[in-house]
Chain A
């Protein structure tokens, strides 16, 4: 299964990763190699097999809907790149 340049650019966009012109071909080749490995799965008949997403088929444990967390914004924001008045600062989003 070979990936072309356009497909690599599309998934890079989805993943918010920047792949340079120089890198694209190598990246496409490497990913295609991995896809060849993965394609081995297609040879197996899995009709009627229930997908396993959790090793024990466990379900999400629930708890009573009461507040147990405390506000730790200050402590958590000490490591932020840029904050102001408790908000995280990023480049302008809205024109």
Chain B
């Protein structure tokens, strides 16, 4: 049962990264791809109807983590206190930028929010990569199950690590490259003409960057946290995730070359899902790995809520999830297709 919930929470988080990930990528590319005001508005319109809904996945994932593993939720959120609070601020600033920039027709006003939107997107992409790096590296949990890490200490993943060290920064950059690739694929799928061509070119470039950085990070993982390799040696089925990930990434590059926009986006989504699946496989059963003493690690077994709660949660989760997916797919189908700005593009605009 605990394992099942571990899988569900991982899946929800991975879905969040896939969905909000493309609008972070779009944000990173935004100043480089959109040259004119009409292009900027087209780019923004491509994520306009979906980005708020995508953030709901973060809220739901957070809620499910709290519900299934309250002890890990308490430890993790208080331990990454500053980093998480800043993530919140960045999300708020990014939302403000998206909401506000088109309200006032003054070039300085729009420039300011454009830059804020792009910077916040880039920082968030780096932070989410670094967060994954922190989960892999582990945190200095005390015997009571709490820890506190500063934003940075000496930038080495030693016994007193910060949120940022060379490894988590590397993961952050890899995350930013992957989400840029993903966002470029999304944008190529949603646009036509010049924008489509520029997005496709960025996807190729960021694809190579993502491939390189992910390769280095994978090579570095065993030196930072040997536990993952032990897990893989014991349960080699997990290499399936790695294989799917690699296949999906090469698939993206191939589809990109053939200008198959939708297939490229689908494969970069799959790549993200598989990568996160691979990490989750390697970390299991740990949710938070202790760098202090292995016994302090918070696992799915010692951090979970009571059995009754988890079992009954399964029922409402399956019902609620099926329901949510049904109407989401129904609505998303109505919004799919290329974005064209025009007097009748949207009632509010």
Are both chains from one complex? Answer: no
* B binding-site residues for A, Cβ under 8 Å: none
* A binding-site residues for B, Cβ under 8 Å: none
